[in-house]
Copies of this chain bind each other. A is one copy, B any other.
């Protein structure tokens, strides 16, 4: 039995349905929203509606955007002959933060995972193949996560790209900059040794 008003219960349920938010946190968030000035609470509700309604995937690279084509795909300052393939929109942000990469992206929106029933048809692989087939692409950099799903996805896509005359590369493995050898795990250290470069 609940002692909260029904609309408050509904709001708590909504917060509790978000990933990583438990029942107690959901209650805390709902009480916080009720304590906001009405204009701020409505601004929060509007932000959800606006984002869900206007944000969709770029026709070319599948990254999230408000227009038909995202700013990176539309830019003539970017090198569109290089495509960096990532799993999630947030990975684009991570790479852009480095200010090093100047090519375009392709966002898969997931990674192959037989355990979670995610197959090749569930992520944006065919859109990538179409780009490579139709556009003038020279290099595809596989920047999926260095975990089992990311590896499998990179491997699967690189095989699909074999028939095209395109260079397929993978992000380098190694010890993170600024870290300590003592705390590096064995697999990473072995990969760092294998991939050693001449000084």
Contact = CB atoms under 8 A, between A and B. Distances in A.
A45 B41 CA distance: 10
A2 B174 CA distance: 28
Chain A, interface SS category: helix
Interface in A25-53: 25, 27-34, 36, 38, 41-53
A10 interface: yes
A32 B55 CA distance: 13
Contact of A66 (B7, B19, B55, B89): B7
A33 B11 contact: no
Given A41-B49, A45-B45, A45-B48, A54 B92 contact: no
Given A20-B25, A53-B38, A7 B89 contact: no
A126 to B, nearest CB: 20
A183 interface: no
B54 A45 contact: no
Contacts of A88: 31
Contact of A41 (B4, B36, B52): B52
Contact of A8 (B27, B64, B92): B64
B18 A29 contact: yes
A10 B42 contact: no
A6 interface: yes
Contacts of A27: 90
Interface in A54-103: 54-55, 64-66, 71-72, 88-90, 92-93, 96
Interface of A: 3-8, 10-11, 13-14, 18-21, 25, 27-34, 36, 38, 41-55, 64-66, 71-72, 88-90, 92-93, 96
